[in-house]
Amino acid sequence: MLLLNRGPMRVTEWEEIHNPVTGERLRFLHRDAATNSVSVEVTFPVGGRAVVEHRHPGWEKFEVMAGTLDLTVDRHLRQLGPGQQFTVTKEFHFPANTGHEETVVVITAAPADFAERGIRATFGLAADQGVTRSGRPRDLLALALISERGAYQIAGPPRWLWVFLMTVLGWVAVIAGKRRQVAQYWPPTLQRPWRR
């Protein structure tokens, strides 16, 4: 197991984040170099809003530690309890807690940098009131950068249209200077997608 590239794990502003729209609290646990994955512990509050329906490259494993997680994958609801897990690949999905107690889930996702950038930017936009109550970003230029040329997709338009729009809007976002806004949500050591 390889720890995050920021030295020994300790609680800092970078290790624990909160999404005020969904109510989720998230703690970064570790990275695994062998699988190029990042693991996080997410606490979904009672009555919190569902995460926006989305899909992305790679995989994402949900392992329930406490409570019940409603995981909708391609419109099929899966209810997972403590000790149960499910791995999503490229399907549209969204987790939610519709139970009467907090739900704690360990999520492991790959590729690590892509997953971490998406999580941090989404939580950052929510903290800055950059998303609607349904979790959809208000700022399409920031969304275009976060989507990394349409690789991250919110449910709605067909894939080809999404990729086209996010690619074009991504270039507009670069010209408009949006990189700085999005990059503020990432620790200095996290690889920027435009510096590969």
Task: Output the 3-class SS for the chain.
Answer: CECCCCCCCCCCCCCEEECCCCCCEEEEEEEECCCCEEEEEEEECCCCCCCCCEECCCEEEEEEEECCEEEEECCEEEEECCCCEEEECCCCEEEECCCCCCEEEEEEEECHHHHHHHHHHHHHHHHCCCECCCCCECCHHHHHHHHCCCCCEECCCCHHHHHHHHHHHHHHHHHCCCHHHHHCCCCCCCCCHHHC
Q: What is the pLDDT of residue 11?
A: 42
pLDDT, one tens digit per residue, over 24-62 is 999 999 999 999 999 999 999 998 888 999 999 999 999
Average pLDDT over residues 185-192: 91
Please give the model's pTM, rounded to 2 decimal places.
0.89
Q: Which residue has the higher pLDDT, 1 or 96?
A: 96
- Give the integer Cα–Cα distance in Å for 146 and 179: 10
Q: Where are the domains of the chain?
A: 16-190
pLDDT reading at 1 higher than 60:
no
pLDDT reading at 180 higher than 60:
yes
- Give the integer Cα–Cα distance in Å for 136 and 121: 12
Rg (CA), the chain: 16
Superfamily of domain 16-190: Jelly Rolls (2.60.120.10)
pLDDT, one tens digit per residue, over 137-164 is 899 999 999 999 999 999 999 999 999 9
